[in-house]
Amino acid sequence: MPYLALSAAFCFVIQMFNIPMPGGTTGHITGGALVGIVLGPWMALLALSITLFIQALLFGDGGITTFGANCFNMAFAMPLCAFAIFRLFRGKGTRRGLMMASALAGYLSIVGAALLVGLELGLQPLLEHTEDGTPLYAPYSWRVAIPAMLLPHLLLAGPLEALITASVVAYLYRAEPTLLKIHEHVNQEGSP
């Protein structure tokens, strides 16, 4: 359990590091890939949901009405995707193999999550608009929303998430190798 708490807190802080994106907007990495890899997808779902809950409740970041969508993208889809990719590519578990697998998992999972956000934001004007077609909520169509979410994450946030994920995994491999097997313990305990 302490690792669940630590992971939620880690994701909270790491998401406060805004990075400038082309076009005057900002983005941030999520930490979701790392937590997915270390804790496994189910514990990561809890950890990231706590992070997003605190962000919305205290700081108005993300927001109460978007909490569900945010959880789906960053707490469910992203760690699950990272976990699967990491498992698929970790090979024999050498340091190099683990780093490559976690970098790939970090990169692809944040790009995947960004794509989901683009799809969701682009869908909204189709569903919610006034009679004359004026959007009620998110105003941009897929043609704008998908590239706007995807490109910065492909170019900037993706490589950063990959770097952070791989470096922390490399650190854990050297300093706390038992932590890299945490989710296996959880699964064993959790099975009836």
Partner 1 sequence: MAVKKSSPLLRLSAGLLALIVLSPLGLLAQGSAWGEWASSELKTLLGFEVEGMKSLEGLWNPRLSDYAIPGWESHFSGPLGYLLCAALGTASCLLVAFLLGEALNKRKRKKEP
The contacts of residue 41 (CB under 8 Å, 6+ apart) are: 76, 79, 80, 83
Cβ nearer to partner 1, comparing 23 with 92: 23
CB 62 within 8 A of CB 26: no
- Give the whole-angstrom CA distance, residue 88 versus residue 78: 15
Cβ nearer to partner 1, comparing 85 with 112: 112
Cβ nearer to partner 1, comparing 33 with 104: 33
CB 40 within 8 A of CB 83: yes
The contacts of residue 126 (CB under 8 Å, 6+ apart) are: 141
CB of 3 to partner 1, least distance (A): 8
Tokens of 97: 């193999």
CB of 88 to partner 1, least distance (A): 26
Q: Give the binding site for partner 1 (CB under 8 A).
A: 1-14, 16-21, 23-28, 46-47, 50-51, 53-65, 117, 121, 128, 130, 134-139, 145, 148-149, 152, 175-176, 178-179
CB of 6 to partner 1, least distance (A): 6
CB of 72 to partner 1, least distance (A): 15
